[in-house]
């Protein structure tokens, strides 16, 4: 489509003004200012699979930008008109999440390589922006080379494959842009350099192969490719100078429909309402699956709650994954300081498990490049292999110690059961042992058992299982909304379980070989698994509140304590006997709040360097 010269001149002038005058995506005044960036394939992927996290980001007041890679036109005859309608739906949903009128300022946005995109900023909240690249959707046979445009761009690294973008009806750009695979990576990396995100939210680059649809990728090809392009751009961006710390969070997509509903009724209704604004503009976004997706939100690899441990000197240590590194912090009296951790032997998933074994404080993780486990103690990193090498179904680790100090590591294996590997008396790790089990979901909880040997708790779609030398299904009947968390103390083992589709939690304690009558009550209000710790003679539960903050419960009454967790908070007791709640924030830093005495108030949140 050729532009008339006067219109082309106007576009050029508009781009020049945009670049010269700046806009809300310009670098922040301070290097550690929080900024959220979502990169998704289609106009509803963020609403269906990343909410309520995106909603919380919109409402936070921080800078937020979502980049939609494809035009989402599918096989619709009026591809340009349908794409424009989906854009309108995205804008309407974001306006509702922000609680402001659906009024936007649109402009053409200059990108790397002379390309342009459509950019909209919310008039009442100009720090919220949407960017539409408008690449061809996977199902569109009209793209250069036919269907599968993003997949073909990803596979090609020689620049031989290129596709042109669509031009949605009535949009901000009148001519298409041409992309190669490397060109798309460069565009996204340059966007990151300009926007300077501290949080990157992506879709699932490596879906669980148990999902039986959308073969061979087990998910929509555009979902997978958008995540891979976003991660490739993030690797490039991390090499740019003076960039802030970047946390990457991946989300499961279509396969969450087979998982228990892990949002409570209030969050479900909120999410359904936001998506409903989008649905008014998309004639194809209807059907039972959309309702199922709207009641769930699952991370591809969640951080879990076991990323804090106590060293032999009594000090608490915390760990997190950032890029290819593991970062650490340690308690130093009333403050926390950074603690150097040597680079692991491969890139790790977010979920780390910390225990104290024969080699001292030990942190374990799951490698993303070969699906194996790796652990680091005072002697450095050592690879443990995998019960199922090369299989994406292998989960993240849980660890617990024997009475003699040897650690045992447990994972959900590719058969849907649990596998274990243990240390010997010298701290050497042995070979994998399959413990069996069926329909086990990722996210195990391991604790020392009453006989001195570790036991592990696991969630299935319909129940909680316990393994202690054999499988035990005597836990009180409950359909879990996610992973259980177990706490072992002098009073026995207490297990806390989020209950599917209710927003409630169930607690039960095992003493003398029998479970107490379960206590079921309100949950924290937010998504995901809780943390729990024995403190001052009670089991204290910590979770995400409905407003995105942190809330605690020791006696059946939840009390908010503020904070802004990136995913899930954790809790521990420090050498002084004080309860400490910890979170990794969207600024990439560790934040802690301390309760000095039983029943007392939590202190203000303190951020580490």
pLDDT, one tens digit per residue, over 550-581 is 999 987 789 999 999 999 999 999 999 999 99
Give the angle subtended at the CA of 443 by the CAs of 361 and 563, to the nearest 5°: 75
Contact 563, 549 (CB under 8 A): yes
At 490, list the tokens. Answer: 């002098």
Q: How confident is the model at residue 10 (pLDDT cuts 50, 70, 90)?
A: very low
Asked if pLDDT for residue 27 goes beyond 80, the answer is: no
Q: What H or E segment, with its residue span, contains residue 486?
A: strand 485-489
Is the CB of residue 49 less than 8 Å from the CB of residue 66?
Answer: no
Using DSSP's 3-state secondary structure scheme, residue 223 falls into helix
| Structural element, H or E, at residue 63 | strand 63-70
pLDDT of residue 597: 86
CB-CB contact of 201 with 39 (8 Å): yes
Q: What is the DSSP letter of 480?
A: B
Of 417, 345, 352, the C-alpha closest to 387 is 417
* Torsion angle of the four alpha carbons 234, 237, 239, 245, in this order, in degrees rounded to the nearest 10: -80
Strands 454-459 and 445-448: antiparallel
Query: pLDDT band at residue 368, thresholds of 50, 70 and 90?
Result: very high
Could you tell me what percent of the chain has a pLDDT over 90? 87
Please state, in angstroms and rounded to a whole number, the distance separating the CA atoms of residues 381 and 344. Answer: 6
Question: So what's the pLDDT on residue 17?
Answer: 38
Average pLDDT, the chain: 92
Confidence (pLDDT) at 16: 39
Structure tokens at 211: 């999902």
* pLDDT tens column, 278-323: 999 999 999 999 999 999 999 999 899 999 999 999 999 999 999 8
Distance, in Å, from the CA atom of 114 to the CA atom of 251, rounded to the nearest integer, reads: 32
Could you tell me if 44 and 226 are in contact, meaning their C-beta atoms sit under 8 angstroms apart? no
214-234 burial code (b ≥16 CB/10 A, e <16): beebbbbbbbbbbbbbbbbbb
pLDDT digits (tens, 9 = 90+) for 419-452: 999 999 999 999 999 999 999 999 999 999 999 9
Percent of the chain whose predicted confidence (pLDDT) is above 70? 95
pLDDT exceeds cutoff 60 at 497:
yes
- Residues 369/363, Cβ–Cβ less than 8 Å: no
Cα separation, 419 vs 455, in Å, equals: 12
Task: Identify the band that residue 271 occupies on the pLDDT scale cut at 50, 70 and 90.
Answer: very high
Residue 203: the pLDDT is: 98
Pairing mode, strands 373-377 and 360-366: antiparallel
* Structure confidence by residue, pLDDT tens digits, 474-493: 999 999 999 999 999 988 99
Work out the average pLDDT over 510-527. Answer: 92
SS (H, E, C) 297-347: CCECCCCCCCCEEECCCCCEEEEEEECCEEEEEEEECCEEEEECCCCCCCC
* pLDDT attached to residue 11: 39
Q: What is the CA radius of gyration of the chain?
A: 24
The model's confidence at residue 528, banded by pLDDT at 50, 70 and 90, is: confident
What is the spatial distance between Cα 214 and Cα 202, in angstroms, rounded to a whole number? 19
Quick check: 128 and 34 in contact, CB under 8 A? no
Q: What is the pTM of this model?
A: 0.93
Average pLDDT for 450-464: 95
Nearest alpha-carbon partner for 444 in 455, 457, 433, 453: 457
**Contacts of 423 by beta carbon, 8 Å cutoff, 6+ apart:** 357, 358, 359, 406, 407, 408, 429, 430
The yes-or-no verdict on residue 13 having pLDDT over 60 is no
pLDDT one-digit tens code per residue, 110-167: 999 999 999 999 999 999 999 999 999 999 999 999 999 999 999 998 889 999 999 9
Which whole-number Å values give the CA distances from 607 to 32, 43, 93, 580, 582, in the listed order?
12, 35, 33, 13, 10
Token pair recorded at residue 578: 């004080």
Determine how β-strand 464-467 pairs with β-strand 454-459.
antiparallel
Question: What pLDDT score does 354 carry?
Answer: 97
**Residues 230-245: what's their mean pLDDT?**
92
- Percentages (nearest 5) of helix, strand, coil residues in the chain: 20, 35, 45
The closest of 91, 136, 65 to 281, measured between CA atoms, is: 91
Q: Which residues does 505 contact at the CB level (< 8 Å), separation at least 6?
A: 496, 497, 498, 499, 520, 521, 522, 523, 524, 530, 541, 543
pLDDT for 90 equals: 98
Per-residue pLDDT band at 54 (split at 50, 70, 90): very high
CA distance 409 to 64: 39
Quick check: 539 pLDDT over 50?
yes
Confidence at residue 28, expressed as pLDDT on a 0 to 100 scale: 43
Condensed to tens digits (0 to 9), the pLDDT of residues 207-222 reads 999 999 999 999 999 9
Quick check: 448 and 403 in contact, CB under 8 A? yes
Contact by Cβ (8 Å): 399, 417: no
User: What is the distance between the alpha carbons of residues 442 and 406, in angstroms, rounded to a whole number?
Assistant: 23
More confident call, 32 vs 527: 527
Q: Write down the pLDDT at residue 7.
A: 38
Residue environment code for 24-37, b if the CB has 16+ CB neighbours within 10 A, otherwise e: bbebbeeeeebbbb
**Predicted pLDDT of residue 241:** 83
Tell me: the pLDDT tens digits for 588-597? Answer: 999 999 998 8
Angle between helices 181-195 and 221-237 (to 10 degrees): 60
Give counts: helices (H), strands (E), the chain.
Answer: 9, 38
pLDDT band at 599 (very low <50, low <70, confident <90, very high): confident
Q: In angstroms, rounded to a whole number, what is the distance separating the alpha carbons of residues 444 and 167?
A: 48
pLDDT for the residue 19? 38
Above 50 in pLDDT, residue 358? yes
Q: For 327-333, what is the mean pLDDT?
A: 94
CA 358 – CA 130 distance, rounded (Å):
51
| 341: Cβ contacts below 8 Å, ≥ 6 apart | 319, 325, 326, 327, 328, 363, 376
Query: Under 8 Å CB-to-CB from 250, ≥6 apart: which residues?
Result: 201, 202, 203, 204, 205, 227, 299, 300, 301
- The whole-number pLDDT of residue 6 equals 39
């Amino acid at each position: 489509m050729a532009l008339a010269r006067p219109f082309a001149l106007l576009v050029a002038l508009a781009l020049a003004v945009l670049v010269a005058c700046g806009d809300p995506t310009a670098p922040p005044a301070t290097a550690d200012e929080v900024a959220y960036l979502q990169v998704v394939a289609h106009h509803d992927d963020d609403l269906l699979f990343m909410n309520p996290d995106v909603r919380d980001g919109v409402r936070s007041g921080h800078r937020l930008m979502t980049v939609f890679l494809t035009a989402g036109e599918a096989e619709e005859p009026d591809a340009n008109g349908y794409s424009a309608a989906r854009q309108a739906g995205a804008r309407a949903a974001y306006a509702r999440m922000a609680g402001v009128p659906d009024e936007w300022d649109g402009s053409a946005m200059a990108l790397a390589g002379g390309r342009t995109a459509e950019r909209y900023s919310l008039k009442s909240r100009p720090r919220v922006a949407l960017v539409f690249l408008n690449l061809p959707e996977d199902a569109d046979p009209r793209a250069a080379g036919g269907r599968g445009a993003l997949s073909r761009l990803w596979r090609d690294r020689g620049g031989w494959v290129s596709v042109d973008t669509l031009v949605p009806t009535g949009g901000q750009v009148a001519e298409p842009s041409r992309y190669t695979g490397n060109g798309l990576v460069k565009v996204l990396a340059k966007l990151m350099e300009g926007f300077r995100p501290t949080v990157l939210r992506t879709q699932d680059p490596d879906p669980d192969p148990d999902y039986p649809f959308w073969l061979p990728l087990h998910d929509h090809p555009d979902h997978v490719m958008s995540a891979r392009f976003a991660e490739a751009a993030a690797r490039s961006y991390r090499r740019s100078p003076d960039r802030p710390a970047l946390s990457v969070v991946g989300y499961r997509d279509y396969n969450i429909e087979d998982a228990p509903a892990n949002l409570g009724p209030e969050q479900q209704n909120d999410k359904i309402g936001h998506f409903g604004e989008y649905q008014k503009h998309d004639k194809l976004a209807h059907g039972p699956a959309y309702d199922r997706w709207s009641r769930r939100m699952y991370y591809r690899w969640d951080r879990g709650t076991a990323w804090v441990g106590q060293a032999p000197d009594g000090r608490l240590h915390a760990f997190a994954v950032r890029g290819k590194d593991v970062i650490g912090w340690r308690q130093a009296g009333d403050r926390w300081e950074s603690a150097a951790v040597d680079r692991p032997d491969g890139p790790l998933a977010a979920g780390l498990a910390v225990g104290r074994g024969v080699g001292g404080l030990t942190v374990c993780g799951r490698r993303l490049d070969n699906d194996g486990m790796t652990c680091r103690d005072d002697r450095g990193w050592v690879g443990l292999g995998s019960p199922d090498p090369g299989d994406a179904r292998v989960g993240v680790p849980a660890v617990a110690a024997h009475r003699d100090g040897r650690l045992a590591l447990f994972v959900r294996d590719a058969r849907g059961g649990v596998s274990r590997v243990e240390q010997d008396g010298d701290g050497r790790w042995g070979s994998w042992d399959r413990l069996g089990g069926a329909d086990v979901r990722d996210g195990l909880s391991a604790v020392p058992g009453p006989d001195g040997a570790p036991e592990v708790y696991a969630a299935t779609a319909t129940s909680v299982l316990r393994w202690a030398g054999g499988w035990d299904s005597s836990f009180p009947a409950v359909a879990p909304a996610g992973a259980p968390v177990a706490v072992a103390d002098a009073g026995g083992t207490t297990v806390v379980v989020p209950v599917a589709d209710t927003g409630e939690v169930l607690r039960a304690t095992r003493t003398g070989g029998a479970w107490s009558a379960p206590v079921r009550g309100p949950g924290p209000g937010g998504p995901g698994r809780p943390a729990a710790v024995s403190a001052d003679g009670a089991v204290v539960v910590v979770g995400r509140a409905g407003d995105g903050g942190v809330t605690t419960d020791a006696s059946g009454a939840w009390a908010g304590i503020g904070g802004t967790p990136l995913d899930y908070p954790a809790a521990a007791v420090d050498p002084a006997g004080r309860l400490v709640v910890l979170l990794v924030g969207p600024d990439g830093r560790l934040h802690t709040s301390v309760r000095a005495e039983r029943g007392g108030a939590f202190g203000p949140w303190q951020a580490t360097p």
